[in-house]
Structures are given as C-alpha cells and as structure tokens.
C-alpha cells in the first residue's frame, strides 16, 4: 500500500493512503460493485445488521446504472492502478445527493473516504449547488464522524421500515399513478414542504412508471417516486403519506425511510406491523429548510 502517515497529538499515527481520483467509467461497475457490496456487508455484519445489497452483482448493477446516467457524477479512487473505492453525486435536482460511498475494507480508515467525499463536495461547489444531502447508517461511528468533520449537520434520524403491504385506504384520499401532466402540481407540494423541488428524480420516476400521486379535495396533495429505499415521498399532511404507504404493493429494498420525529406517522406504521430494520441519519450541508409537511427521504435519490 502506498501511504504516508500523520502524527496526531497523543495518538498513534494514522496511515494516509495516496490515491488517484478520476471520473468513473462504465467498465468500473463490476469492481466498484464488488467493493460496494463487501464494504457495506462488512460494516453491517459487524453490527449484526443485514447487508444493504444482497450480492456483488446487484451492487454492480446499481453502480453501473449511476455511472452511465448523466444526472450523476461518479468518482473512482485508484491505488497503484487498482480501484479501491468510489463515490457518487446525484445532480438531477436543486439539492445534490451523495452516495453510495464505499472504500475497499482492506484499505479503510486511511483517508480514502475523506478524499472521495471532498471530491464530490468540490464538484458541488464548482456547480454552485445550494445544498447537499446524504443518509448515513447511524450505527457506523466512522462515517458519522467523517461527515460531521466535513461540515454535514445531522438533521433527522430516520427509521427504515419493512413489512407486508398494508392495503389500507384513507377516507377522502385517493392514490393513482402519476403522469407528466402532474409534474407541476407535485413540484409545488415538494416546494411547500422542503422549499425546493425534486423534479429531476420525479421526472425519472414518472417515466419509469413508479411514481404515484395522492389527491384530496380534488387536488394533488402529495406524491411518491416509489415506496422504496431509493425513492422519496412528500405530502401536505400525514394523511397524504398514510394513503401512499397504505396503497403500496411492497416496500422496495431494505424499506421506506421515515423521519423518526414524526411520531404520529411512525406509530401508525408500527401499529400496522411494520418493523424497524435500522436507523439512518439525514445529514446536510448548505440549504436546508425544516420541512413544513410530511416526507419520506430517499437513501440516495
């Protein structure tokens, strides 16, 4: 391993890996996916949690998709010509999203993660992005500390909830598939709740057929890009989200992310049998407004 070291007062020197950073290419997906799978599996198993990705192939599929999508910036770290980590920035909407960031477990804790984070934050600065967000696995002391040191503020603990579909309707709230013509109304709801829209993600979800809207009093009062880990939802009230959660056929990936301080909605889900998988922290830099409504964040985008 190519490395130097830093002497920290009163503590042993920590290795600093010298890495080359470069944009990701389509043929990096397999190796980045293997590292992504191994890195998440190692940290999850150490804490007794299920792995985020079921296999290296699934992780490679997701990263390959992100690398090839022009809406995402991909950065890869190489050491002696070998890939040792990667990171991503979702640039489709006003607020950019970071992740997944992963470093090969064999070379972790040597400042490679820091360099990959600085790379995407530099990119966000260059593009004058007003705010950056991420979801952090609360049990991982290292990433929590790294992000805090880089300036991220902890905004909200979120519970990942999983379980059988509720198949429940909320009186006065109807749910249907979203179409392109709903974009403006949905963006308005998001703007009302967050102070900015997430139109890039929503547009993609509509074209993929996963987005749904909820209507109340003959107007759109909420939407979801999918009831899933990789998707977000907003509503003017908890009833909008209850209608969307109640109408979901499944909760995709590890589950839906629910802000734990929304006690009413949290208890409503628990009362219906949903179970907590793990806790994730919503962290942000720059523009962040305390939400003025109900929402479920996405883990990535």
Ligand X SMILES: CC(C)(COP(=O)(O)OP(=O)(O)OC[C@H]1O[C@@H](n2cnc3c(N)ncnc32)[C@H](O)[C@@H]1OP(=O)(O)O)[C@@H](O)C(=O)NCCC(=O)NCCS
Residue ranges that bind ligand X, judged by CB under 6 A: 39-40, 43, 101-103, 108-114, 136-137, 140-143, 145-146, 149
- Identity of the residue, 112 or 124, whose beta carbon is nearer to ligand X in the bound complex: 112
Minimum CB separation of residue 176 from ligand X in Å reads 34
What CA–CA distance (Å, rounded) separates 168 from 227? Answer: 14
Shortest Å, Cβ 9 to ligand X: 13
Decide: 184 and 284 in contact? Cβ < 8 Å.
no
Q: How far is the CB of 13 from ligand X (least distance, A)?
A: 11
**Smaller CB separation from ligand X, 8 or 181:** 8
Phi, psi (degrees; rounded to nearest 5) at 11: -125, 155
Q: Which is nearer to ligand X, 142 or 267 (CB)?
A: 142
In the complex with ligand X, the residue whose CB is nearer, 40 or 230, is: 40
Comparison of 142 and 261: residue with beta carbon closer to ligand X: 142
Nearest to ligand X of 203, 278 (CB atom): 278
8 Å CB contact between 57 and 30: no
CB of 295 to ligand X, least distance (A): 20
CB 91 within 8 A of CB 85: no
In the chain, DSSP assigns E strands to 3-8, 11-17, 20-23, 72-79, 82-90, 95-98, 102-103, 131-137, 153-162, 173-177, 212-216, 219-224, 233-235, 256-259, 275-286, 294-296
For residue 108, the minimal CB distance to ligand X (Å) is 3
Of residues 111 and 212, the one with the C-beta less far from ligand X: 111
| CA distances in angstroms from 76 to 62, 73, 246, 296, listed in the order given | 15, 10, 40, 30
Determine the residue with CB nearest ligand X. 113
CB of 129 to ligand X, least distance (A): 19
267-272 LR contacts (CB < 8 Å, sep 24+):
268/238, 268/242, 269/161, 269/245, 272/163, 272/166, 272/168
Shortest Cβ distance from residue 265 to ligand X (Å)? Answer: 24
Residue 128 to residues 26, 51, 66, 131, 301, Cα–Cα distance (Å): 27, 35, 21, 9, 19
């Amino acid at each position: 391993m190519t490395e130097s070291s830093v002497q920290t007062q009163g503590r042993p020197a920590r290795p600093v890996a010298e890495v080359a950073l470069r944009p990701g290419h389509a043929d990096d997906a397999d190796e980045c996916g293997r590292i992504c799978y191994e890195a998440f599996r190692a940290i999850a198993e150490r804490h007794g949690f299920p792995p985020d990705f079921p296999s290296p192939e699934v992780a490679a599929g997701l990263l390959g998709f992100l690398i090839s999508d022009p809406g995402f910036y991909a950065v890869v770290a190489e050491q002696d010509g070998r890939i040792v980590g990667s990171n991503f920035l979702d640039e489709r909407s006003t607020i950019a999203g970071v992740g997944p960031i992963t470093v090969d477990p064999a070379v972790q804790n040597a400042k490679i993660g820091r360099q990959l984070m600085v790379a995407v934050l530099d990119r966000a600065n260059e593009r004058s992005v007003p705010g950056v967000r991420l979801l952090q696995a609360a049990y991982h002391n290292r990433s929590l500390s790294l992000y805090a040191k880089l300036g991220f503020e902890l905004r909200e603990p979120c519970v990942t909830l999983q379980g059988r579909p509720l198949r429940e309707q909320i009186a006065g709230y109807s749910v249907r598939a979203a179409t392109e013509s709903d974009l403006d109304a949905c963006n308005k709801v998001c703007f009302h709740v967050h102070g900015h829209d997430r139109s890039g993600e929503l547009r993609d979800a509509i074209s993929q057929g996963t987005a749904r809207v909820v209507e109340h009093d003959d107007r759109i009062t909420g939407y979801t890009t999918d009831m899933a880990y990789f998707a977000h939802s907003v509503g003017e009230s908890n009833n909008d989200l209850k209608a969307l959660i109640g109408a979901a056929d499944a909760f995709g990936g590890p589950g839906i992310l629910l802000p734990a301080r929304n006690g009413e909605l949290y208890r409503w889900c628990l009362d219906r049998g949903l179970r907590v998988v793990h806790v994730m922290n919503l962290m942000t830099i720059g523009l962040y407004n305390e939400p003025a409504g109900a929402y479920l964040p996405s883990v990535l985008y």
